[in-house]
Structure 1
Amino acid sequence: MKANVISVLSFITLRCIAIIFILQVFKLCRVSLQLSTPRSFSVDYRSDCFRKDGKEFRYISGSIHYNRIPRVYWKDRLLKMYMAGLNAIQTYVPWNYHEESPGRYSFSGDRDLEYFLQLAQDIGLLVILRPGPYICAEWDMGGLPAWLLNKKNIVLRSSDPDYIAAVDKWMGKLLPMLKPHLYQNGGPIISVQVENEYGSYFACDYNYLRHLTKLFRSHLGEEVVLFTTDGAGLQYLKCGSIQDLYATVDFGPGANVTAAFEAQRHAEPHGPLVNSEFYTGWLDHWGSPHSVVSSAAVAKALNKILATGANVNLYMFIGGTNFGYWNGANSPYGSQPTSYDYDAPLTEAGDLTEKYFAIREVIKMYRKIPEGPVPPTTPKYAYGAVGMKKLQTISDALEKLSFSGPVKSMYPQTFTDLNQAFGYVLYRTTLPVTCSKPTPLSSPLNGIHDRAYVSVDGVAVGILERNKALTVNVTGTAGSQVEILVENMGRINYGKDINDFKGLVSNLTLETETLTGWTMYSLSIDDAVSQGLLGGKQPPPTDPPQPAPLSLPAFYGGSFIIPDGIPDLPQDTYIKLKNAKCRSWFGPQVTLFVPANILSTAAPNNVTVLELEEAPCGSGPCTVEFTDTPVLNGPVTSHDKQDWGLFAKEDLL
Structure 2
Amino acid sequence: MSEREGLRADSTHFTLGGAPFLILGGSIHYFRVHRAHWRDRLLKLKACGLNTLTTYVPWNLHEPERGVYQFQEQLDMEEYIRLAGELGLWVILRPGPYICAEWDLGGLPSWLLQDKKMKLRTTYSGFTSAVNSYFNNLIPRITPFQFKNGGPVIAVQVENEYGSYAKDEQYLSFIKEALLSRGISELLMTSDNHEGLKCGRVDGVLQTVNLQRLLSGDVQHLAELQPKKPLMVMEYWSGWFDVWGEPHHVFTAQEMISIVRELLDRGISINFYMFHGGTNFGFMNGAVDLGSYKPQTSSYDYDAPLTESGDYTTKYHLLRKLLSNYNKEPIPEPPAVQSRRAYEPVVVSHYISLWESLQCAETHFRADDPVSMENLPANHNNGQSYGYTLYQTDIYSGGELNSRNHVHDRALVFIDRELIGVLDYRTQKVTISHSKSERTLSLLVENCGRVNYGPALDNQQKGLIGDITLNDVPLKKFSMYCLDMKTSFINRLQSLKWMSVGQKPTYPAFFRGTLVVDQPTDTFVKLPNWSKGVVFVNGQNLGRHWSVGPQKALYLPGPWLKSGDNEIVVFEELKAAETIHFAENPEYSKTVEVSTQLFCTLL
Q: Place the TM-score, normalised by the shorter chain, in its bin.
A: over 0.9
Instruction: Say if 1:211 and 1:529 are closer, same or farther in 2 by CA, change over 3 A.
Output: closer
Q: Which residue of 2 aligns with 1:40?
A: 5
One of 567, 588, 597 as aligned partner of 2:550: 588
Q: Which residue of 2 aligns with 1:460?
A: 419
Query: Residue 69 of structure 2 aligns to a residue in which SS?
Result: coil
Q: Which ranges in structure 1 are unaligned for 5 or more consecutive residues?
A: 1-34, 546-550, 564-568
Are the equivalent residues in 2 in contact too, given 1:529–1:608 (CA < 8 A)?
no
One of 563, 572, 586 as aligned partner of 1:630: 586
| Structure 1 segment 472-511 matched on structure 2, within 5 A | 472-475=430-433, 476-499=435-458, 500-511=460-471
* Deviation of 1:514 (Å): 1.3
Q: What CA distance in whole angstroms lies between the structure 1 residues aligned with 2:191 and 2:31?
A: 21
Q: Which residue of 2 aligns with 1:556?
A: 511
| Structure 1 segment 323-402 matched on structure 2, within 5 A | 323-331=281-289, 332-368=292-328, 370-400=330-360, 402=361
Q: Which residue of 2 aligns with 1:651?
A: 601
One of 218, 234, 251 as aligned partner of 1:276: 234
Q: What CA distance in whole angstroms lies between the structure 2 residues aligned with 1:646 and 1:346?
A: 23
Query: Residue 304 of structure 1 aligns to a residue in which SS?
Result: helix
Q: Which residue of 2 aligns with 1:195?
A: 159
Are the equivalent residues in 1 in contact too, given 2:351–2:501 (CA < 8 A)?
no
Instruction: Say if 1:532 and 1:214 are closer, same or farther in 2 by CA, change over 3 A.
Output: closer
Residue type at the aligned position of 2:461: F
Residue type at the aligned position of 1:586: V
One of 436, 448, 463 as aligned partner of 2:407: 448
Are the equivalent residues in 1 in contact too, given 2:520–2:562 (CA < 8 A)?
yes
Residue type at the aligned position of 1:227: M
Give the TM-score normalised by the residue count of structure 1. 0.86
Q: Which residue of 2 aligns with 1:600?
A: 562
- How big is each residue's C-alpha offset from its partner over 1:610-629, in whole Å with a ceiling of 9 and x where there is no partner? 00112x12xxxx10101112
Q: What CA distance in whole angstroms lies between the structure 2 residues aligned with 1:97 and 1:357?
A: 34
Are the equivalent residues in 1 in contact too, given 2:351–2:500 (CA < 8 A)?
no
Residue type at the aligned position of 1:425: T
Residue type at the aligned position of 2:525: I
- How big is each residue's C-alpha offset from its partner over 1:358-416, in whole Å with a ceiling of 9 and x where there is no partner? 1111111222464443112211111121011342111122102x133x21111110001
Q: Which residue of 2 aligns with 1:260?
A: 218
Q: Which residue of 2 aligns with 1:249?
A: 209
| Structure 1 segment 13-412 matched on structure 2, within 5 A | 38-45=3-10, 47-203=11-167, 205-221=168-184, 223-232=185-194, 235-252=195-212, 254-256=213-215, 259-331=217-289, 332-368=292-328, 370-400=330-360, 402-404=361-363, 406-412=364-370
* Deviation of 1:477 (Å): 3.9
* Deviation of 1:245 (Å): 1.1
Indicate yes or no: 2:573 matched with 1:612.
yes
Are the equivalent residues in 2 in contact too, given 1:140–1:493 (CA < 8 A)?
yes
Residue type at the aligned position of 1:588: P
- How big is each residue's C-alpha offset from its partner over 1:469-503, in whole Å with a ceiling of 9 and x where there is no partner? 11122224442011111111110000111130000
Aligned residue pairs total 581
Q: What CA distance in whole angstroms lies between the structure 2 residues aligned with 1:369 and 1:409?
A: 67
Are the equivalent residues in 1 in contact too, given 2:35–2:73 (CA < 8 A)?
yes
Q: Which moved more, 1:451-460 or 1:475-484?
A: 475-484
Residue type at the aligned position of 1:584: W
Are the equivalent residues in 1 in contact too, given 2:324–2:331 (CA < 8 A)?
no
Query: Residue 395 of structure 1 aligns to a residue in which SS?
Result: helix
Are the equivalent residues in 2 in contact too, given 1:553–1:612 (CA < 8 A)?
yes
Q: Which moved more, 1:72-81 or 1:509-518?
A: 509-518
Residue type at the aligned position of 2:99: I
Query: Residue 83 of structure 2 aligns to a residue in which SS?
Result: helix
Instruction: Say if 1:626 and 1:142 are closer, same or farther in 2 by CA, change over 3 A.
Output: same
RMSD after superposition? 2.0
Are the equivalent residues in 2 in contact too, given 1:455–1:484 (CA < 8 A)?
yes
Query: Residue 316 of structure 1 aligns to a residue in which SS?
Result: strand
Q: Which one has a larger percent strand, Structure 1 or Structure 2?
A: 2
Q: Which residue of 1 aligns with 2:537?
A: none
Instruction: Say if 1:644 and 1:464 are closer, same or farther in 2 by CA, change over 3 A.
Output: farther
Residue type at the aligned position of 2:572: E
Query: Residue 209 of structure 2 aligns to a residue in which SS?
Result: strand
Q: What CA distance in whole angstroms lies between the structure 1 residues aligned with 2:75 and 2:374?
A: 24
Q: What CA distance in whole angstroms lies between the structure 1 residues aligned with 2:602 and 2:268?
A: 28
* Deviation of 1:539 (Å): 4.4
Q: What CA distance in whole angstroms lies between the structure 1 residues aligned with 2:553 and 2:503?
A: 32
Q: Which residue of 2 aligns with 1:3?
A: none
Instruction: Say if 1:535 and 1:407 are closer, same or farther in 2 by CA, change over 3 A.
Output: closer
Residue type at the aligned position of 1:470: Q
Residue type at the aligned position of 2:415: V
Q: Which residue of 1 aligns with 2:379?
A: none
Q: What CA distance in whole angstroms lies between the structure 2 residues aligned with 1:67 and 1:60?
A: 22
Q: Which residue of 1 aligns with 2:429?
A: 471
Q: What CA distance in whole angstroms lies between the structure 1 residues aligned with 2:477 and 2:571?
A: 28
Q: Which ranges in structure 2 are unaligned for 5 or more consecutive residues?
A: 377-382, 533-544
Rg larger in 1 or in 2?
1
Are the equivalent residues in 1 in contact too, given 2:324–2:330 (CA < 8 A)?
no
* Deviation of 1:202 (Å): 4.6
* Deviation of 1:530 (Å): 4.3
* Deviation of 1:341 (Å): 0.1
Query: Residue 651 of structure 1 aligns to a residue in which SS?
Result: helix
Q: Which residue of 1 aligns with 2:520?
A: 570
Instruction: Say if 1:272 and 1:386 are closer, same or farther in 2 by CA, change over 3 A.
Output: same
Are the equivalent residues in 2 in contact too, given 1:320–1:348 (CA < 8 A)?
yes
Residue type at the aligned position of 1:581: S
Are the equivalent residues in 1 in contact too, given 2:91–2:153 (CA < 8 A)?
yes
Query: Residue 89 of structure 1 aligns to a residue in which SS?
Result: strand
- How big is each residue's C-alpha offset from its partner over 1:574-602, in whole Å with a ceiling of 9 and x where there is no partner? 0001211123131100100000001111x
Instruction: Say if 1:163 and 1:532 are closer, same or farther in 2 by CA, change over 3 A.
Output: closer
Q: What CA distance in whole angstroms lies between the structure 1 residues aligned with 2:484 and 2:411?
A: 17
- Percent identical: 37
Q: What CA distance in whole angstroms lies between the structure 1 residues aligned with 2:146 and 2:267?
A: 25
